[in-house]
Amino acid sequence: MKSIYKILTLALVLVFLVTACAPREPEPVVEEPVVEEPVVEEPVVEEPEITETLRVAVVSPSAINDFAFTQSIYDAMVALQEDFGEDAIEFVYSEGMFVVDDAAAAIRDYAASGFDLVIAHGSQYGSSLQEIAPDFPDISFAWGTTVDTFGIPNVYAYEAASNEGGFVNGVMAAMMTESKVIGVVGPIETGDAKLYVDGFVAGVQATDPSIDVRVTYIGSFSDVALAAEAAETHIAAGADILTGTAQMVVGAIGKIQEAGGYWFGTQADQASFAADTVVASQVYHWEVILKEIINLRAQGVLGGQAFIADLANGGQVMAFNPDIEIPADVMAAAERTIASFIAGEEIEVPVLEMEQLSIAVVSPSAINDFAFTQSIYDAMIALQDFYGEDVVQFVYSEGMFVVDDAAAAIRDYASQGYDMVIAHGSQYGSSLQEIAPDFPDISFAWGTTVDTFGIPNVYAYEASSQEGGYVMGVMAALMTESKVVGVIGPINTGDAKLFVDGFVAGVKATDPDITILETWTGSFSDVAAAAEAAETQIAAGADVLTGTAQMVVGAIGKAQEAGIYWFGTQADQASFAPDTVVVSQVYHWEVALKEMIALRAQDQLGGESFIIDLANGGLVMAYNPDIEIPAEVMEAAEQTIQDIIDGLITIEIRQ
């Protein structure tokens, strides 16, 4: 097993931050001049000489004692005053500015009052700053967390490489958990919040890949009650360690404190909030960046540069709680990891070995069917890539359309002592009900369903395929010219029904005047019937088709012959018809399988069901790079995906 976690070079980190973590702000309506990318500077911590009083105003979304984001900037301002004196730096602040319009009014008012530097401490304030800053060219503005200055010469930007402290916390958490279940409570998957969560998860997995890491994004930076509810859910699932980021985490900290577990914090030192619970906090020291901004202002540079706080420049510091007795090996691992980040070296973490796991898969069609069976086969390969082939070994029986043959294979694999037998087909349920009780020490899994039959050694898994179906329905409605689209399903059940219902709902929500031709062939495997259905729909005027299950290769072929578009699901179908397939909803069953593996490591052989969706990464939209998708269609797709993840779209499933 690999025990080395590769650090990205600084250049790659900056590219990642710029491309993946900048806040999602709307584009301005007016045309902007072409500008160069902002120069991202590594802060040089020098004491600037202040010859006259510097007046600074701070606008922030929450309270200055939130133990998180706003407290971090407030503490930085206090640190500046302590370093230079209150006569050298004066600052005022407006806290609790969750409403962007209120924050914009405060930012403009401070600028109009002649403050030298106005700090908009919140990624949600970006669009407001784009409008306000040009009106006050002699005032410096700063905002974060981001590295985007918009090319405006009097705007600074600042970001935190919070993935670094997140990784450190993840290493420690992996070594301290006893239940092997860890919960993460995030706000919205963006900015330094996403960086921190990604870093934490990476640290846990690099240390012990068998740990079940459960990530919940609640969709809010401020909802304390929702964070508490997410924490309760994690704790009920067995988590004895939690972490999280943003202002709402006090709710989650309270719940893990009640449960007697541990918490790992970020943004500000949270130990004083729960001294018996918080193990360590990654603390943002924004004053490191603010000193550099002050230096540049003294040279007449009012903005145009971006800065990143990290462990190396002291902009991030790990604060270990002296009231918690941290085991010596955990402290040593944390210190080594921190030192490696600072030195830019490869990170060595203590990897906890995982027992070998043997898995057998029984599936109805070929492993290269571009659909249902390929999705589980690809997931098994992904597991081997993740854990190593020496840890996860698997065999498979494909083409098991005959249920009796599949049942014989399932029983045979269990008799041979495989640790887990996956019956990948909803038609195998009745067989599994008979077989699983005969092998109480073997784990069985089947899908797509959420029914475990109440059998303690049976897992179940399902795909929220209506989500990707809805996204593709929106895209298809925007791309059809004939205003006729066709849908080809196998049997009206399971994930096939979910996908078709989602697709139809997406089309109707976008353009209710479009004609939707819907055909169910009555078979998962009949390629000829699928081809015939496609021909019928094309003859009726359809210029966009979709469908699900193994037989769709016949329909895709007919769409390709007719020169029309296809939208796929289950596996990436672009390589089958690169000039035809616009996008595929790809099932990543490994997301569910990792959770099963983690539960098995805790001696839980079954009894739970799992659903993969867009939010947990079990469903991924794979756009075909060979198809030129119109910009407005891509924008609509991405917005729809985000709205589904945020719970803003309810998809109707027909009765």
Residues 6+ apart with CB under 8 A from 463: 447, 448, 495, 498, 587, 611, 612, 613, 618, 619
Please give the structure tokens belonging to residue 469.
């179906």
CATH number reported for the structural domain that contains residue 154 in this entry: 3.40.50.2300
Together in a domain, 134 and 51: yes
What is the mean pLDDT of the segment spanning 78-107?
93
**DSSP per residue over 552-603, as a string?**
HHHHHHHHHHHT-EEEEEES--TTTSTTTEEEEEEE-THHHHHHHHHHHHTT
pTM of the full predicted structure? 0.57
Among 463, 485, 505, which residue terminates a domain?
A: 463
**Do 383 and 458 share a domain, yes or no?**
yes
312-359 tens-digit pLDDT: 999 999 999 999 999 999 999 999 999 999 988 776 655 555 678 999
pLDDT in tens, 582-618: 999 999 999 899 889 888 887 899 999 999 999 888 9
* Among 12-21, 285-294, 341-350, 407-416, the least confident range: 12-21
pLDDT tens per residue across span 380-407 = 999 988 778 888 999 999 999 999 999 9
Per-position DSSP letters for 345-405, written without gaps between them: PPEE--PPP---EEEEEE-SS-TTSSSHHHHHHHHHHHHHHHH-TTTEEEEEE----SHHH
Mean pLDDT over the full length of the chain: 89
User: 443-447 and 458-463: which strand pairing?
Assistant: parallel
240 shares a domain with 296: no
Task: Decide if pLDDT at 568 tops 90.
Answer: yes
Residues 130 and 54 in one domain: yes
Q: Say how many domains are in the chain.
A: 4
Residue 363's CB: how many other CB atoms inside 10 A? 27
End-to-end CA distance of the chain: 48
**Which DSSP string do the residues of 156-188 spell out, in sequence order?**
EEEEE-HHHHHHHHHHHHHHH-SSSEEEEEESS
Query: How confident is the model at residue 41, as a pLDDT?
Result: 47
Give residue 85's Cα distance to chain centre: 43
- 20, 140: one domain: yes
Checking if the pLDDT of 430 tops 70, the result is yes
Residues 218 and 338 in one domain: yes
Query: Can you tell me the mean pLDDT for 55-72?
Result: 93
pLDDT at 28 over 80: no
621-651 as b/e, with b when 16 or more CB fall inside 10 Å? bbbbeebebeeebeebbeebbbebbeeebeb
Asked if residue 116 and residue 61 are part of one domain, the reply reads: yes
Q: Is residue 557 part of a domain?
A: yes
pLDDT of residue 40 exceeding 90: no
What is the structure's pLDDT at 47?
52
H or E element, residue 106: helix 100-112
* Structure letter (DSSP) for residue 27: P
More confident residue, 490 or 4: 490
Is it the case that residue 7 has pLDDT exceeding 70? no
Helix (H, G, I), strand (E, B) or coil at 443: strand
Judge whether 601 lies within some domain. no
**Residue 597 falls within a domain, yes or no?**
no
Asked if pLDDT for residue 44 goes beyond 50, the answer is no
Q: 244 lies in which domain range? A: 162-283+327-348
Q: Side by side, which strands form the sheet with 484-489?
A: 515-520, 484-489, 544-547, 565-570, 581-587, 619-623
Q: Which of 551, 459, 116, 509 is nearest to 300 (CA)?
A: 116
Same domain as 458, residue 385? yes
Residue 444 lies inside a defined structural domain of this protein:
yes
Task: Return the DSSP state at 144.
Answer: E
Give the dihedral of Cα atoms 431, 436, 439, 443; nearest 10 deg. 120
